[in-house]
Structure 1
Amino acid sequence: MNQAGESAEKLSYRGWRGIRAAFATPSALTMALLGFGSGLPFLLIASQTLSTRLRDVGLQLGEIGLISLASFFYLLKFVWAPLIDRSALPLLAWLGRRRSWLLAAQVLVTVSLFALGSMRPELGVAGLVGWVLVGSFAGATQDSVVDAYRIEIAPESAQAALAATYILGYRIALIVAGAGALYLAQFQSWTVSYFCMAALMLVPIVTTLLSPEPVWPQATVVRRIDFLGAFWQPIVSFFTTNGWKLALGLLLFVGLFKFPDQVIGVMAGPFYLDSGFTKADIATVSKLFGIWMSILGAFGGGLAIAAFGFRRMLLVAALAVALSNLAFLLMAHNPGHLWAFYAALSADNVAQGFAGTVLVAFMSSLTDRNFTATQYGLLVSLANLPGKFAGGVSGYLVEATSYSAFFTLSALTVVPTLGLLAWLWRRIKEPVPRTAGSAHAHDRPAHP
């Protein structure tokens, strides 16, 4: 058994003392470094850095929104997750079931970033769209494996801490892929920027090679499932465990939870440019200062769950995400004023970080460890799917109305989420802390 597994046996990561112990485990450092690998390509392939680049070279908002849909693989990772759950990747099987897929995905992300760096979108976007497809597939695969690794390496009661350290690494990567990439683009070129980002993928690659493979006692059970069963059995298990009514409610809640934030994601970069800020301004405020605010929020979320549990923090997080969108009205009505930029980004990123940790820990508690990558991948996809498709047409909405109307409407989308949470309130069970003598973290599935 690896060190993380031994720690899981001895400690109940509950309360302030337990959460500090969880942050100190070797698994926490591993998750921070793997989180860095997951976060690095996201902005460059599927979000604000790419959209800022496209706006910078003269593309229209409608085009940028449509191009963002090319990263849809991030939303469909659950489709091929059963293959990741079922067996190791051929040729790299010596690394283990999790690390074989992880290494292959990380190498493919690296290649795609180098390729995107060589593109000239102002001369045509066909090649760029093709590599966005490749990069998003590789990035989504990497995310699925990292999520499964995190859930399998530690018990439920440690998941808030590991979620926080994972998000710490993820957010640091967003600083690098956001602020770092924009500074390089401002003072060098977009090509140099993307090439440097690709080189930084060596960090997660080395981490994967040095990290232990999680212990997974149920492996022989899942491997006996036939190929088609590998796809439908995780879904059947989720509905059987929760009942069809609760399962549908949970899936819908997860899908709507961060919708207000995600619907504005594609337009954020163009909005900053249209508000009169330079790429260097955006790098400093949004991708440097803002990310540190999100890290503060992420750790606040981890500590809050340890102290107060899931239910109340789900309510706080949902409200914070929606209300933070209204902070962008300060920028819309005060274009070019740095104080408004700092104020809006403080509210937005603290709320994002807090809600991200709360949602990750909550989704982890819903996952059956016999089908970790598949079920968690489905939940993550649902958490991003509605906002992603809405983001694809968000440029047309802004062009038809205004940025102010767009931000106001996005905040109002929290109403269905709050209604669902009210229905789920008594049905959400807090995870039971495990101590020495209790069932091992892998002996039964985790569910609310």
Structure 2
Amino acid sequence: MDEAKGQSERGWAIAVAPYLEKAPLAALALGISSGFPFAMIAATLTTRLAQDGIKKSTITAFSLAFLVYSFKWLWAWIVDGVHIPLLGRLGQRVSWLIVTGILVMAAVVNLAIQRPTSDIGATAVAAILVAFASSTFDIVIDAYRIEILEPRQLGVGSGMSQYGWRIGSAGAGALALVVAERSGWQAAYLVCALLALPAIATGLLLGEPPRHRDPVERKGFDAIARTVWEPIVQFFSREGAIIVLIFILIHKIGDTLANLTFRLLFDDLGFTNDEIAFYDVGLGFWAYLIGIFVGGILYEKMGMKRSVLFALILMAVSNLSFAGLAAAGHSNIGMAGAIGFENFASGFGGVVVVAYFSALCDLRFTASQYALISAGAAIVGRLITGTTAGALIEAMGYVNFYILTTVIALPGVFLYAWMLKSGLVDRSIGSAGIEGPGDVRDDGEA
């Protein structure tokens, strides 16, 4: 009995150990700072505006600020190619972490001092400025995370980043509500602005990532044009780059189409706000965190390539659970199963797929290429959802709709399976997945 217990404890220690290494812990801190601005212009701002008596139609229009995140790749080249005077001595990534972190704090403070009841236009501009500063901060954070992690740590590091993002966004939202209740919304935003500090402190403590590679320095009139276009040209010069891009664009369409309609389903099935809060927010949160943890472990065991395929299958099948819930009707057990399965699959996929996208980057252009990849991974699904989801539900009903979202997910699964079998996944990997211990092209421990 004691021997079995000792083996079990050693097994847990081995499983947890990779999460306690310096670089993954840094990814956690980076994730916290990345997540908090999202809350400032999402649910927190919605609550603030509603309590100020702003019309619902005006409040929902503020969601347009999130479009800024989809276009961050347009200026990501600046983070890769422009050196900051004086601060640049600390390193390209560290100097940009400091500058963009300060910009985020300033933008949040600016939003704090706005008075929506007297000038809603100025409040809208302030929210857009937060989105711009935050998306630029994300560009730097993603690049720093990828470059500070060794290839063997990309899975665990992506998981810790996901943990941090959830903690930052949920923590900032809760902190803002608590402070606002006692001291008002201005104080709430001012306190939350300090959550940019973990990323800045991480950069100052750890310094420039050892894997960072500066682009070749050029002089002359074409220097700016080369800085803009070279990351794109380098990516598309790889074998099968167009196929990889197609995969990036389509792999999450079914998942996104389903995820953004769950609240409509819950409302139509007659679930109360308390039930939605308990299962969707509470149970879903913990299932997501468990999925992240399991994703990090299986990434180590299976290797990146096979774990990505497993995640794609898992995310596609999880949509069927909502078809089952729609068919069953109001069922707390059904809701718990569907929410738990979907969030577990999303957490698992968030680790291994993000690790794969990180490995696609060239270390000379990490900021530019990851910004382009992450924007491409989301934009098609959001566009299709915004233009067709409601009409599809009305035309075919929830059961057939969620079956359709599963079918729509299958091309991404089959395309990746073909890429894996043909060796294209290996050939498309950038230097971020190769340089350093633990080449992501290896098959893991299994």
Tell me the TM-score normalised to structure 2 length: 0.77
1:152 aligns with 2:124: no
Structure 1 residues 174 and 262, CA, compared in 2 at 3 Å: closer, same or farther? farther
Query: Shift of the alpha carbon at 1:215?
Result: 2.9
- Equivalent of 1:26 in 22, 25, 28: 22
Q: 2:158 aligns with which of 160, 163, 179?
A: 163
Q: Quick one: distance in 1 between partners of 2:108 and 2:400?
A: 35
**Aligned-CA RMSD value:** 4.1
Of 101, 105, 113, which aligns to 2:100? Answer: 105
Shift in Å, 1:297? 0.8
Give the counterpart of 1:327 among 309, 321, 327: 321
Give the stretch that moved more between structures: 410-419 or 198-207: 198-207
Separation in 1, partners of 2:115, 2:320: 35
| Structure 2 match to 1:237 | 234
**Cα distance, 1:127–1:237 mapped onto 2, change above 3 Å:** same
Matched, 1:302 2:296: yes
- Larger displacement relative to structure 2 (418-427 or 375-384): 418-427
When residues 204 and 153 of structure 1 are mapped into structure 2, their CA distance, relative to the original with a 3 A threshold, is closer
1:10: which partner in 2?
Answer: none
2:37 to 23, 41, 46: 41
Which aligned pairs between 1:106-121 and structure 2 lie closer than 5 A? Answer: 106-116=101-111
- Deviating more after overlay: 176-185 vs 224-233: 176-185
Higher relative contact order (CA 8 A, sep 6+): 1
Aligned residues: 419
1:143 positional shift: 1.7
Counterpart of 2:341 in structure 1 is: 347
> Are the structure 2 counterparts of residues 417 and 204 from structure 1 closer, same or farther at C-alpha, using a change threshold of 3 Å?
same
1:383-438: CA deviations, max 9, x gaps? 1111232343367547855666654443332022123223312224569xxxxxxx
Q: CA–CA distance in 2 between the matches of 1:117 and 1:21? A: 40
Q: Which amino acid aligns with 2:168?
A: A
Q: Is the 2:80–2:365 Cα contact (8 Å) retained in structure 1?
A: yes
The Cα shift of 1:168 comes to 1.8
Q: After alignment, is 92-101 or 376-385 more displaced?
A: 92-101
- Higher CA-based Rg: 2
Q: Distance in 1 between matches of 2:408 and 2:288?
A: 22
Partner of 2:284: 290
8 Å CA contact 1:265, 1:391 repeated in 2: no
Counterpart in 2 of 1:78?
73
Give the secondary-structure state (helix, strand or coil) at the position aligned to 1:367: coil
Is the 8 Å Cα contact of residues 393 and 401 (structure 2) preserved in structure 1? no
Q: 1:179 to 1:255 in 2, by over 3 A?
A: farther
Q: Determine the C-alpha separation between the residues in 2 that align with 1:183 and 1:404.
A: 40
Q: Do the aligned partners of 1:297 and 1:352 also contact (CA within 8 Å) in 2?
A: yes
Query: In 2 relative to 1, CA 370–423 (structure 1 residues): closer, same or farther, beyond 3 Å?
Result: same
Cα distance change on mapping 1:95 and 1:341 into 2, 3 Å: farther
Aligned ranges 1:338-377 → 2 under 5 Å: 339-377=333-371
Matched, 1:131 2:126: yes
The answer to whether the Cα contact below 8 Å between 2:84 and 2:95 also exists between their aligned partners in 1 is yes
Q: 1:257 to 1:440 in 2, by over 3 A?
A: closer
Checking the alignment, whether the CA contact within 8 Å between 1:147 and 1:376 is kept in structure 2 is: yes
1:100-121 CA-partner distances (Å, limit 9, x unpaired): 2222322333344445556687
1:5 corresponds to which residue?
A: none
1:385 aligns with 2:379: yes
The 3 A distance-change label for structure 1 pair 95 and 277 is farther
The one-letter code sitting in structure 2 at the alignment partner of 1:40 is: F
Q: Pick from 198, 218, 229: which aligns with 2:193?
A: 198
Question: Per the alignment, in what secondary structure is the counterpart of residue 368 of structure 1?
Answer: coil
The offset of 1:253, in angstroms, is: 0.8
Q: CA-to-partner distance for each residue in 1:41-80, whole Å, 9 max, x for gaps?
A: 23443x666678889978668984x653431221222221
The structural deviation recorded for 1:217 is 6.6
User: What's the offset of the Cα at 1:127?
Assistant: 4.1
CA 23–326 in structure 1, closer or farther in 2 if over 3 Å, else same: same
Q: Percent identity?
A: 31
1:227 aligns with 2:221: no
2:436 equivalent among 434, 438, 441 = 441
Alpha-carbon contact 2:295-2:352 (below 8 Å) kept? yes
In structure 1, distance between residues paired with 2:46 and 2:424 = 38
CA separation of 1:265/1:429 partners in 2, compared to 1, >3 Å: closer, same or farther? closer
Inter-partner Cα distance in structure 2 for 1:120 and 1:331:
43
Q: Structure 1: which amino acid aligns with 2:125?
A: G
Listed as ranges, the gaps of 5+ residues in structure 2 are: 1-10, 428-433
Distance 2:183 2:322 in 1: 30
Change in Cα spacing, 1:299 to 1:217, as seen in structure 2 (3 Å) is closer
Equivalences for 1:421-432 in 2 at 5 Å? 421-426=416-421, 427-429=423-425
Describe the shift of the 1:425–1:400 C-alpha distance in structure 2 as closer, same or farther (beyond 3 A): same
Query: Which stretch has the larger CA shift, 136-145 or 195-204?
Result: 195-204
Of 113-122 and 223-232, more deviation after overlay is shown by 113-122
What is the distance in 1 between the residues matched to 2:321 and 2:44?
21
Unaligned runs of 5+ in 1: 1-14, 432-438
Distance 1:289 1:122 in 2: 36
User: Contact 1:331/1:337 (CA < 8 Å) preserved in 2?
Assistant: yes
